[in-house]
Structure formats: structure tokens, C-alpha cells
């Protein structure tokens, strides 16, 4: 209904027929007064729609179609210019008109149009209203965010399409029985893929592609900006061919998701590598590690700064965030880490994984077969690890020396 109200020229008795390819159809300038006196219907409702759609899952075909239809309406030739002209009339300063002589002319048509636009806005919003220009910097930032989300959604739709193609033949049968594959990362499940289908994914991609094209026409976005979005979103893969982590920054207590990272997890664009571990034990070990790091931060930094074997041994074991930031695949995370080094830190969280615990239990079980008690077994494991770590320290240091 809103979109129909914005286009009265399609329902007028003297409606123009669509133009040919050589002369494309455009909105007649005679509708400029209508656009001006209905300025809020075009601008304020569009800004409200923009804020709403930024919190919408654009991978859904219905939502993608909604964005496409709105962008198509506002992208009609010269309509954006009419809206911008109406905003200029509203935002121009008040003119004090002197007392008119009997033979003096009436105020200009521009002043009269400005009065009509302001009367319309003030009658609906009041004299103290705060107007947000549709073509101002604030809305332009929102449009850039929408273009970024559209780029993300297109990449997600392509990932869903690829997953549908690569899924095994027996997947549909298992889904029919109710054994759908679960994805703890928050991405789309197997049932979602079956319901969407290849045709829906294709339509979503087409809707988003055209919507992005229309937004570029309305707000004059350049191809360079869109290319920058694609690079910033990390749609490419890293050198190992693995998908990137969700967008995050590094804080005192570890990785912190940004709003963009949360969206990437919800949409299934990126995810963290899921490890099997005991959550309560990991939290306890993390608090213990944080307490040790806070208490002995100076001593650990002093040990790691030494050039002897002890210093190299400590550098091998203590996690160095400045060095570990190489493994952060988030582009924003890399920028946040640059110049923000927390120093050497100890991490005991690996002791909370099922793999580590099962390995230790297996080692104790094998030792018990040879009549070796828990305490001697622990000493042997510690001695074996010290020898292994010493060898790795020497090999790592030798490798650094041979690097060009």
C-alpha cells in the first residue's frame, strides 16, 4: 500500500506508456508538487524501512524481494532528484518577506513551493521536529551498511547453494526420517536448505543483485565502494583454503565479537571451529590462567626476553598475543591487534578438552597394566613432555636462524 501511494502516476488516467529502449520511461515532472507535499511519505518512511531492514535476514527470499521492490520504486528515473529537490525546499532558511506594495509581485514560485513543503512537514511533525534528510550523511551511512549486508547475504546464498549441490544423495532421505544435520555454528540447517531449494536461492541472489544496483543508482554509490565491501567482508579464503573466523577484536579476556561478527554467525557466513570440551572446566581453567597471568605478568615477560635457552623455552610455551594474532582471520581483528600487545600469557584451557582428558586417562590405564601408579605415571609424562618441548624449542630456534 505504501509503495502504491508513492507512485500515483501509474494509476492516473493519462498514464504514460513505458518508453522504448532508445527513450527510457521516466516520471513526469508534473508530479514534482505531489512528491514535495508528500515528502515525509518518501523520506521518513524510507529511513524507517532502512533501519528495519538492517536487522532482517536478507537471505530469506521474501525479505530479499521486499528490499528489491522498495529499491526499484525509488530508483525510477528522476524520482530521486524530485525527492532531493523537496528536501532542499524544506531545508532552505526561512525568508522574511517585507510588506508587499500594491503593485509588487507575489513571492516567487520557489518560495511558494518551500512554504507548501514546510507546511506539510510541520503539520505532521510539529514545529520542533528533527528532520533526517534522506540524502544526508546519516542516511548515506545506513545505505552503505545495507549495501554491505546485501553483499554478505549474496555470499551466504551462494554458500547455501554450493552446500545443496555438494550434499550427499542420502541426505534427503535422512532428513525425511527426521535426522537432519545439526550445525552448532548458527548457520542454516539441512531442513532449511531443503525448504529453500535451488530456485529460491537463485531468486534471492537475483533480487539482492538488482536491489544493490538500484541503491547505487539512487545514492550514486561507486563500484569502488562495493569492491571495498567485498574485500572488507573477507569473502575470499585464507591461504590454507579455510573459511575465516567471525569478525572480532582482541580484549583482555580473549576474542570479542563485533556486531558484524554476530551477524556473520547468525547468517551462517562464518563460524568458529567447534572443539569438544567441558564448558565448566574450561571456564575454571580460563579464570585460573587469567589469575596467573595477572599475578606473574612481569616475571613471564622477563623470562621471555632472555636470549638463553630458558628464554626460548618460555617463548615456545607462553602464548604471545602479538604473534598469535597472525592466526586471527578477521580483518577487523587484525587491525585491532596491530599495536596492541598484551605480552606473554599462559593458557590452560586445553586441559578441558575431551581429547586431552581421554588421552591422559588412556595413559594412566596403560601405566596401570605395567603396575605403575598415578604419581610415577604423572612424573614420567611430565619428564617426557619436557624432553619433547626442549627438542621442539631447539628445532624452532634453528628454523628461525635459517630463515632469510
Query: In this structure, how many other beta carbons lie within 10 angstroms of the beta carbon of residue 160?
Result: 23
Compute the radius of gyration of the chain from its Cα atoms.
31
Q: How far is CA 156 from the centre of its chain?
A: 11
State the DSSP string of 290-316: HHHHHHSHHHHHHHHT--SHHHHHHHH
3-class SS of residue 254:
strand
The Cα–Cα gap between 264 and 156 comes to 9
CA-to-CA separations, 99 to 94, 112, 179, 201, 315, in angstroms, rounded: 16, 16, 83, 65, 85
Q: Please report where in the chains the cell 635457552 appears, as a residue.
A: 309
Q: Helices in 20-133 by DSSP H: which ranges?
A: 32-37, 39-53, 61-74, 79-91, 109-125
Run means of pLDDT, 10 residues per run, the chain, 404 residues: 89 65 69 90 94 89 93 93 90 58 49 80 83 91 90 79 54 45 42 56 88 92 73 47 62 67 68 74 88 87 85 75 42 44 75 89 91 90 88 73 48
Q: Is the pTM of this model over 0.75?
A: no
Q: Please report where in the chains the cell 630456534 appears, as a residue.
A: 397
Q: Report pLDDT for 333.
A: 44
Grid cell in block for residue 48:
524507517
DSSP 174: H
Q: Please report where in the chains the cell 500515483 appears, as a residue.
A: 8
The Cα–Cα gap between 209 and 144 comes to 15
Q: Report pLDDT for 363.
A: 92
Grid cell in block for residue 166:
555438494
Pick from 150, 189, 195, 160: which is nearest to 57 by CA? 150
For the chain, the helix, strand and coil percentages under 3-state DSSP, each to the nearest 5: 65, 5, 35
Q: Report pLDDT for 99.
A: 45
CA-to-CA separations, 206 to 5, 127, 193, 211, 291, in angstroms, rounded: 26, 43, 18, 8, 53
The Cα–Cα gap between 232 and 255 comes to 19
Q: Report pLDDT for 186.
A: 41
Amino acid at each position: 500500500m505504501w509503495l502504491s501511494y508513492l507512485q500515483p502516476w501509474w494509476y492516473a488516467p493519462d498514464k504514460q506508456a513505458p518508453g522504448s529502449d532508445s527513450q527510457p520511461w521516466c516520471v513526469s515532472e508534473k508530479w514534482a508538487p505531489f512528491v514535495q507535499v508528500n515528502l515525509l511519505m518518501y523520506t521518513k518512511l524510507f529511513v524507517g524501512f532502512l533501519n528495519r531492514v538492517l536487522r532482517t535476514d536478507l537471505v530469506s527470499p521474501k525479505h530479499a524481494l521486499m528490499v528489491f521492490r522498495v529499491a526499484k520504486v525509488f530508483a525510477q528515473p528522476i524520482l530521486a532528484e524530485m525527492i532531493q529537490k523537496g528536501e532542499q525546499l524544506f531545508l532552505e532558511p526561512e525568508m522574511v518577506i517585507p510588506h508587499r506594495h500594491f503593485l509588487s509581485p507575489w513571492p516567487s514560485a520557489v518560495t511558494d513551493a518551500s512554504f507548501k513543503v514546510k507546511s506539510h512537514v510541520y503539520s505532521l511533525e510539529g514545529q520542533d521536529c528533527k528532520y533526517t534528510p534522506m540524502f544526508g550523511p546519516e542516511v548515506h551511512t545506513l545505505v552503505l551498511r545495507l549495501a554491505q549486508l546485501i553483499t554478505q547475504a549474496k555470499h551466504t546464498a551462494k554458500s547455501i547453494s554450493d552446500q545443496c549441490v555438494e550434499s550427499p544423495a542420502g541426505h534427503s532421505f535422512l532428513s525425511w526420517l527426521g535426522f537432519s544435520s545439526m550445525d552448532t555454528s548458527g548457520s542454516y540447517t539441512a531442513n532449511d536448505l531443503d525448504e529453500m531449494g535451488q530456485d529460491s536461492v537463485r531468486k534471492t541472489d537475483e533480487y539482492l543483485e538488482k536491489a544493490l544496483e538500484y541503491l547505487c543508482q539512487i545514492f550514486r554509490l561507486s563500484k569502488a565502494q562495493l569492491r571495498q565491501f567485498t574485500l572488507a567482508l573477507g569473502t575470499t579464503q585464507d591461504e590454507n583454503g579455510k573459511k575465516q573466523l567471525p569478525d572480532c577484536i582482541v580484549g583482555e579476556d580473549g576474542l570479542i565479537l563485533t556486531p558484524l561478527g554476530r551477524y556473520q554467525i547468525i547468517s551462517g557466513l562464518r563460524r568458529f571451529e567447534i572443539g569438544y570440551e567441558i564448558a565448566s572446566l574450561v571456564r575454571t581453567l580460563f579464570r585460573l590462567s587469567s589469575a596467573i597471568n595477572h599475578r606473574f605478568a612481569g616475571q613471564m615477560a622477563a623470562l621471555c626476553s632472555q636470549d638463553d635457552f630458558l628464554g626460548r623455552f618460555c617463548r615456545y610455551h607462553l602464548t604471545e598475543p602479538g604473534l598469535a594474532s597472525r592466526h586471527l582471520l578477521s580483518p577487523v581483528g587484525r587491525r585491532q591487534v596491530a599495536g596492541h600487545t598484551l605480552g606473554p600469557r599462559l593458557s590452560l584451557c586445553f586441559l578441558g578438552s575431551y581429547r586431552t582428558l581421554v588421552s591422559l586417562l588412556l595413559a594412566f590405564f596403560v601405566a596401570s597394566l605395567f603396575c605403575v601408579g598415578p604419581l610415577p605415571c604423572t612424573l614420567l609424562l611430565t619428564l617426557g613432555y619436557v624432553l619433547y618441548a626442549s627438542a621442539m624449542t631447539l628445532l624452532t630456534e634453528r628454523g628461525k636462524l635459517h630463515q632469510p
